[in-house]
Amino acid sequence: MIELYHWEPVSHSLRALICVEEAGVEYESHYVDLLEFQQFGSEFLSLNPAGQVPVLRNNGVAITESVLIAEYLAEAFPEAGLAPTDPLGWYEVQTWSKFIDYNLSSSLATLGCNHYLSPLIRSGDVEAMSEAVEAIPVEVRRPGWRLAITGDYSQEILANSRRKVSLVVERMEKSLANSEWLVGNTYSIADINTFAMIHGLRDLATEVAGDEVAPRTAGWYARIAERDAVKRALGRTTRHELGTVYAPGPEHSRWG
Amino acid sequence: MPDVKLYHWEPNANSGKPIIALIEKGVDFDSHYTDLLEFDQHKPEYLAINPNGTIPVLVHGDVMLAESTEMGEYIDGAFTGPALRPDSPEERWRMRWWGKFLDGYFGPSLSMIGWSVFVGPAVRSKDPDELRRNIERIPLKERRDAWTMAIYNQFPEKELQESQRRVQHGIRVMEDELGKSTWCAGETFSLADINAFCMAYALPMMQPDHVSHEKTPNLIDWLRRVYDRPSIDESFKLGRTPMAERINEVREIISGGSVK
């Protein structure tokens, strides 16, 4: 049976949850509590040494990286029709997902941690948290958590995050002028990968991603939100109210 | 006349990926050398083809593709010839994991170092007004920032050190991964090998303290296997800078005295 290791239904975990639900496969859900640092425990690290969720386990292989999980499920379960199979359609889905990852994943993490995670951490035992962060075995994950503790998000990085969100929304508005879906004329993992990020950004970057500035995006969002699979994925909230908790994500690109 | 055109710079890094893929696949194509050091990719005639002003670009009939990693999957799917992707979804995931690692982690760090020692110095002596005008017409902000750093040598020391650290870490990751199978994604040659080769082909020469028979036997053996493929010689014929001479030097390093 397929096993999915995930956190709350936000960003990367939400992508994988929607994809397994849309694929219509039975799966065993394993909740990994990122605020308890379960992703840095030896058991989880043996599954993914990068210390990141989601991870999908199938046929004895641990599939990592949310975009690659989506592509894996699309190819492993072709009858679900999660992606076009012609070379150009597949290229467009892949490059759209890359564009979203490049511009939205780091931006959502920055805005979400600034607004929700950092105040949450700072209202608790900061000293204990600092000790736990310095003890994270995956060194590359420490800076993101350190930043959440200090809450020292510069105006520059916040503005750059909004700029990137705005860039994506502009392109979405253009694509959605000609089609109900982002790539071609069918719902695909390109829509899922984008939805999982826009879901939080409507709240965190309303001025560039809200209904008023992005009406076509709002319609597209509503079409996806009413799908049964998406409702089931969003219903997987465990310890936090939907969309009120984020974890440090991928860094912003250092070299264009 | 082939209906495939490839706009590329030197047969390495991003330009190398579609060149090698097309040759491996046996696809006849028109090569359009686009000189990065002459800013060909920011000229109006090129921007008419690719408004983002990035290299490489593959034009197939009326289709224009500008993302080099995903271009490989298109080439494999659109043309007949030997498969460049494994059959199983698990091995395909592993192939794409390499793509993500190379594009998101290893490549940018290696590229920053390469631009600081090669691209920057190569263009810095040009007319300052011309350089300024060139920066102004670069469409993407990220590329504008990168060219500004390279032209005016504004690489922060801390960033260069971080890149060097990541390159060394990336080398260890590659060495571990290449210990698991003959080729990057498994027992068949794939796009992952092409992409990794385009980044790693000169490492034994550029990073001799970290890549050698003693330190990274898996990486050296794998490099030798890729260098032995006829497509590599073919691809380097499309180069115009002294980079091609470096290839012979690397071949000498990796052929001599294996410890295995």
Per residue in B164-188, pLDDT (tens digit) is 999 999 999 999 999 999 999 999 9
**CB-CB under 8 Å, B145 with A256:** yes
Chain B residues in contact with A59 by the CB 8 A cut-off are 90
Average pLDDT, chain B: 94
**CB-CB under 8 Å, A98 with B73:** no
> Which of A147, A245, A252, A250 lies closest to A200 in space, CA to CA?
A245
Looking at residue B88, its pLDDT comes to 96
Residue B1: which pLDDT band, with cuts at 50, 70 and 90?
A: low
Residue B212: which pLDDT band, with cuts at 50, 70 and 90?
A: very high
- Cis link prior to A78 (omega < 30° from 0)? no
How close B236 comes to chain A (CA, Å)?
26
Chain B residues in contact with A83 by the CB 8 A cut-off are none
Give yes or no for residue B79 having a pLDDT over 90: yes
Q: Residues near B171 by Cβ (< 8 Å), separated by ≥ 6?
A: B203, B207, B210, B211, B216, B219
Buried b (16+ CB within 10 A) or exposed e, B153-183: eebeeebeeebbebbeebbeebbebbeeeeb
Task: Name the burial class of residue B108, with classes exposed (0-12), middle (13-18) and buried (19+) by CB atoms within 10 angstroms of its CB.
Answer: middle
| A·B CB contacts under 8 A | 72
Answer whether B89 touches A (CB < 8 Å).
Answer: yes
Alpha carbon distance B56, B53 (integer Å):
9
pTM, two decimal places = 0.96
> Which of B197, B204, B210 lies closest to B255 in space, CA to CA?
B204
> Which of B158, B135, B148, B89 lies closest to A82 in space, CA to CA?
B89
Q: What is the DSSP string of B123-152?
A: HTTS-HHHHHHHHHT--SHHHHHHHHHHHT
| Residues forming beta bridges with residue A56, ordered by sequence position | A4, A63
Q: What is the mean pLDDT of residues A184-209?
A: 97
Per residue in A146-168, pLDDT (tens digit) is 999 999 999 999 999 999 999 99
Buried b (16+ CB within 10 A) or exposed e, A229-238: bbeebbebee
Give yes or no for residue A30 having a pLDDT over 90: yes
Looking at residue A255, its pLDDT comes to 81
Nearest CB to B89: which of A64, A75, A98?
A: A75
Q: What is the mean pLDDT of residues B12-34?
A: 97
Looking at residue A59, its pLDDT comes to 87
- HSE at residue A97, side-chain half, CA atoms within 13 A, is 26
Chain A residues in contact with B36 by the CB 8 A cut-off are none
List all residues of chain B from 157 to 216 with a beta carbon under 8 Å from chain A.
159, 162-163
Nearest CB to B74: which of A72, A75, A88?
A: A88
Nearest CB to B63: which of A67, A88, A256?
A: A88
Q: What is the ipTM of this complex?
A: 0.96
Alpha carbon distance A11, A196 (integer Å):
5
Give the Cβ contact number of residue B77 at 10 Å: 17
Q: Which amino acid is at B119?
A: V
Give yes or no for residue A218 having a pLDDT over 60: yes
**CB-CB under 8 Å, B140 with A87:** no
Angle at B197 between CA A83 and CA A60, to 5 degrees: 50
Per residue in B88-140, pLDDT (tens digit) is 999 999 999 999 999 999 999 999 999 999 999 999 999 999 999 999 999 99
Answer whether A154 touches B (CB < 8 Å).
Answer: no
**CB-CB under 8 Å, B92 with A255:** no
Q: What are phi and psi of B18, to 5 degrees?
A: -70, -30
List all residues of chain B from 18 to 77 with a beta carbon under 8 Å from chain A.
63, 65, 67, 69-71, 73-74, 76-77
- Which residue on chain A is closest to B115 by alpha carbon? A255
